[in-house]
């Protein structure tokens, strides 16, 4: 009840827009007009910055229509002024108008629903979430438009909401997968480092052992022992690859994610 005056203005404006949208057309996705989301006060929701570039058909177009032929700059500027006033308030308003998420259930099915019931941020009920999850398990995207409509009807949500939910869900899945991948690679990296250290150590030990057990005249000249820079294996420049002076047996269970030893080897 407080502040209602201001909010009312807002709502009236929204409704105006919506009706013009109805006349306007259409199903242009980029415009986000088609579904008439209650939250769809695109022109008003400058909370994302009115300065952002829009599609040609976006607000500019709508407002031009509203404000007559004005077109061009005129339309744009009036749009900005209106928008900038209303922007942030809008969400706030909505959050005060509706109090519970269950109200969602009262919403009409999508497209013809331009009732701009101010809308609090929606929280899906458990039932809704689990149904969506179930659908997501089967298909991570809403293949046919029909499926979206059906789900929406079933959940008593607007198709746009279902669509957004799937978008966000895919993003979450991807993010989680990225985290998992990151952890996995991190572990691999650590393992590789350990392995590398261990091999270095082993090499040093073998070198030392060899030096101490061989008489000086039998010791190999330093040039005959070489180490591959990428795989760190010891090789003998004078012998073939499979007759190395020291055979370093790879760890049988070690998984190397970069499964190709260097081309040089």
Partner DNA sequence: GGTATTTAGATAGTTACATCA
Partner DNA sequence: CCTGATGTAACTATCTAAATA
Q: Within 172-231, which residues bind DNA (CB under 7 A)? A: 172, 174
Return the residue of 7, 39, 86, 135 that touches DNA, per CB under 7 A. Answer: 39
Cβ-based nearer residue to DNA, 93 or 225: 93
| DSSP states of 159-175 | HHHHHHHHHHHHHHHHH
Contact 101, 123 (CB under 8 A): yes
How many CB atoms are located within 10 Å of the residue 88 CB? 12
Interface with DNA, residue 7, by CB under 7 A: no
- Least separation in angstroms between CB 37 and DNA: 4
Q: Does 61 bind DNA (CB under 7 A)?
A: no
Report how far residue 126's alpha carbon sits from residue 174's, in angstroms, rounded to the nearest whole number. Answer: 22
Tell me whether residue 45 or residue 235 sits nearer to DNA (CB atom): 45
Residue among 91, 153, 156, 232 that touches DNA (CB under 7 A): 91
Burial string for 155-172 (b: 16+ CB within 10 Å, else e) reads bbbbbbbbbebbeebeee
Q: Which of 215, 209, 216 is nearest to 245 (CA)?
A: 209
Toward DNA, which CB reaches closer, 39 or 233? Answer: 39
Selected range binding DNA among 11-19, 40-48, 238-246, 248-256, rule: CB under 7 A? 40-48
Q: Measured between alpha carbons, how far is 15 from 179 in angstroms, rounded to an integer?
A: 44
- As a whole number of angstroms, the distance between CA 161 and CA 37 comes to 9
Using CB under 7 A, pick the residue from 163, 225, 233, 235 that binds DNA: 163
- Strand, helix or coil for residue 235: strand
Q: Which of residues 131-150 bind DNA (CB under 7 A)?
A: 141-143, 145
The only residue of 4, 170, 201, 207 in contact with DNA, by rule CB under 7 A: 170
Binder of DNA out of 47, 103, 111, 195 (CB under 7 A): 47
What is the secondary structure of 81-123 as a DSSP string?
HHHHHHHHHHHHHHHHH---GGGGGG---GGG-------PPP-
Which one of the spans 53-61, 191-199, 204-212, 213-221 is the region binding DNA (CB under 7 A)? Answer: 53-61
Instruction: State the nearest-atom distance from the C-beta of 32 to DNA, in Å.
Output: 4
Interaction between residue 92 and DNA (CB under 7 A): yes
In three-state secondary structure terms, 180 is helix
In whole angstroms, the minimum distance from the beta carbon of 16 to DNA comes to 17
Look at the block and give the residue holding tokens 């209303």.
Answer: 86
* Cα first-last separation, the chain: 79
- Name the one range near DNA by CB under 7 A: 4-12, 29-37, 63-71, 243-251: 29-37
Give the binding-site size for DNA (rule: CB under 7 A). 49
User: In 3D, which of 45, 157, 161 has the Cα closest to residue 92?
Assistant: 45
- Name the site residues for DNA (rule: CB under 7 A): 25-30, 32, 34, 37, 39-40, 42, 45, 47-49, 52-55, 58, 88, 91-92, 95, 119-124, 129, 141-143, 145, 160-161, 163-172, 174
């Amino acid at each position: 009840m407080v502040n209602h005056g201001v909010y009312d203005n807002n709502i009236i404006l929204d409704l105006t827009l919506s009706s013009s949208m109805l006349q306007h057309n259409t199903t242009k996705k980029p415009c986000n007009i088609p579904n008439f989301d209650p939250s769809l006060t695109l022109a008003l929701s400058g909370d994302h910055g009115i300065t952002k570039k829009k599609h040609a058909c976006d607000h500019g177009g709508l407002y031009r229509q509203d404000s007559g032929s004005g077109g061009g700059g005129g339309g744009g500027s009036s749009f900005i002024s209106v928008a900038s006033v209303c922007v942030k308030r809008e969400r706030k308003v909505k959050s005060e108008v509706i109090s519970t998420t269950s109200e969602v259930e009262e919403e009409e099915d999508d497209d013809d629903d331009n009732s701009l019931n101010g809308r609090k941020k929606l929280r899906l009920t458990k039932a809704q979430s689990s149904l969506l999850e179930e659908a997501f398990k089967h298909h991570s995207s809403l293949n046919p438009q029909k499926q979206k409509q059906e789900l929406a009807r079933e959940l008593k949500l607007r198709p746009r909401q279902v669509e957004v939910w799937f978008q966000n869900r895919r993003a979450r899945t991807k993010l989680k997968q990225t985290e998992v991948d990151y952890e996995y690679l991190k572990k691999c990296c650590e393992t590789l480092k350990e392995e590398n250290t261990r091999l270095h150590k082993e090499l040093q030990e073998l070198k030392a052992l060899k030096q101490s057990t061989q008489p000086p005249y039998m010791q190999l000249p330093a040039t005959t022992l070489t180490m591959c820079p990428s795989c760190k294996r010891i090789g003998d420049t004078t012998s073939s690859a499979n007759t190395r002076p020291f055979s370093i047996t790879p760890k049988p269970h070690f998984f190397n994610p970069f499964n190709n030893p260097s081309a040089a080897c």
